[in-house]
Structure 1
Amino acid sequence: MPPSDTLTNNRERTVLENCQEAIGYRFLKPELLRSALTHTSSANTRAASNERLEFLGDSVLGLVTCEQLYQRFPEYQEGDLTKVKSAVVSRKTCARFSQEIGLGDFLFLGRGVHTHGEMPLNILANVFESLVAAIFLDGGWGAAREFILRFITPEIERVARDAISSNAKSQLQTVTQREYGDTPRYFLLDEQGPDNNKCFKVAAQVHDERFPPAWGSTKKEAELKAAMNALAHIHGEPLPFPPA
């Protein structure tokens, strides 16, 4: 590659400078950023485009995500971790990360690419992975990991909340079998309201330990919320449904 001071014309230097401001990372080798932003349509050869960086970035992004999921969810089995990973670093999610940064504004595209005012999601997803690889090559594992965590940490928490809320009872069973050697039982503690509009108060219990209860408009909903409260209690986290 040519040295960075002869890498681009004035317009390209401006684009690279603005991009670095947007992503919050300063490149030691701006030519890596230039490569990450180069779509195949504007490259002299495919090897000069961001495709190779995309290949590397996909693996770096996946490794950082897997590390976080492994640490965040010690009770998850391989299949559960794979499902969460697929949601956290999906093509759609990577495209959204690019949109949050505004990477589409910095892409070098050929004249044959017609965006019709909106950048295709596959191009946005590709450039995010390419950018991850460029940061990895420029600043090493620590820089790439820090950059990735800015995006995937809230995404992991969102996916985790969705997964727990839809599968809380089975998750609680897995945790209690490991921690207590038994499965939870659910107890109806109270019910209020007329027959056509009742509310139910339920608590999960393992052996003699009863976890914080929760209210629900049906017994099923109350059990689900009680399971979520129990999981939060076991993990030392704030209760999602504090009992009134």
Structure 2
Amino acid sequence: MSNEERIARAEEILEYHFRDPDLLLTSLTHASCADSRIRSNERLEFLGDAVLGLIVCDILYREYRNWLEGELTKLKSVVVSRRVCARVADQIGLSELLILGEGLHGEQRLPMSLRAAVYEAVIGALYLDGGFEAARRFVLRTLEEQIERWAVSDNRENYKSALQQFVQRYLLTTPRYEALDEKGPDHSKCFEVCVVVNHERFPSAWGPSKKAAEQEAARRALEILQARHRRQADESEARELHDAR
């Protein structure tokens, strides 16, 4: 496929005509095929990740007016996850437009991180070429179904259970909870609790009951541990891709 054909197909998918088609081409170029990493889609992915997060937060804030901050955070983390972004990139045909180095050609299925990255990179390109509204229209069109799906299926997850499953699976231990403080009169107390995993203490949380405080503390610890796990997986995958080049 020529670059001109690739750009034309991408514009069809995005339902947007670029004033700077080179920007779109860069968003489709993986580091394994670029002259240098600075010419790959990595910088656009960085920008697109932030733009995507803002757009999704804006949508959730306006549409789910009765949801608490922790619930909105959970839904957002699912919607902008690598798994969902990769799935959407596959569904709309973006994944097949990726420009890859020889070491990745012939792969039956590209790594999830690459497929998610191209979705975020084109959002960054849309933002630079057409502004926030152009990016927002694309995100809304391609992610609205995912947002509704996960909002309906969301059961306000038991974060303590989710944290315990994660810690037992990846760290081979069990989290424990420490009561740090309590304030207020007997009829209206607030409690402060933190999570401890392998002697590491995570950010504490307050709640109107010990149970509520433990749930929020578990959510905060889980968010940190999942981000750390994703970062380690990315570094491992980057080393594998580097070796394949």
Shorter-chain TM-score category? Answer: 0.5 to 0.7
Aligned-partner residue type, residue 16 of structure 1: I
Q: Which residue of 1 aligns with 2:26?
A: 35
The separation in 1 between residues aligned to 2:43 and 2:150, in whole angstroms, is: 29
2:153 to 162, 176, 180: 162
Aligned-partner residue type, residue 124 of structure 2: A
Q: Which residue of 2 aligns with 1:130?
A: 121
The separation in 1 between residues aligned to 2:20 and 2:38, in whole angstroms, is: 18
**Quick one: structure 1 residues 71 and 40, their matched pair in 2 at CA, closer, same or farther if it must change by over 3 Å?**
same
Q: CA deviation at 1:125?
A: 0.1
Are the aligned partners of 2:6 and 2:97 in contact in 1 as well (CA < 8 Å)? Answer: yes
Task: Give the alignment's TM-score, normalised by structure 1.
Answer: 0.61
**Quick one: structure 1 residues 144 and 54, their matched pair in 2 at CA, closer, same or farther if it must change by over 3 Å?**
same
Q: Which residue of 1 aligns with 2:201?
A: none
Q: Which has the higher contact order (CA 8 A, sep 6+)?
A: 2
Aligned-partner residue type, residue 82 of structure 2: R
1:139 matches 2:118: no
**Quick one: structure 1 residues 81 and 116, their matched pair in 2 at CA, closer, same or farther if it must change by over 3 Å?**
same
Q: CA deviation at 1:135?
A: 0.5
Q: Which residue of 2 aligns with 1:111?
A: 102
Once superposed, what is the RMSD of the aligned Cα atoms? 1.6
1:98 matches 2:79: no
- What per-residue deviation string (whole Å, max 9, x for no partner) do you get for residues 95-129 of structure 1? 01100111122111111224522222110000000
Are the aligned partners of 2:28 and 2:99 in contact in 1 as well (CA < 8 Å)? Answer: yes
Q: CA deviation at 1:40?
A: 0.1
Q: Which residue of 1 aligns with 2:168?
A: none
Matches within 5 A, 1:17-96: 17-96=8-87
1:150 to 141, 146, 162: 141
Q: CA deviation at 1:89?
A: 1.0
Aligned-partner residue type, residue 135 of structure 2: A
Q: CA deviation at 1:92?
A: 0.3
Identity of aligned residues (%): 45
Task: Give the alignment's TM-score, normalised by structure 2.
Answer: 0.61
| Runs of 5+ consecutive residues of structure 1 not aligned to the other structure | 1-9, 169-244
Q: Which is further off, 43-52 or 22-31? A: 22-31
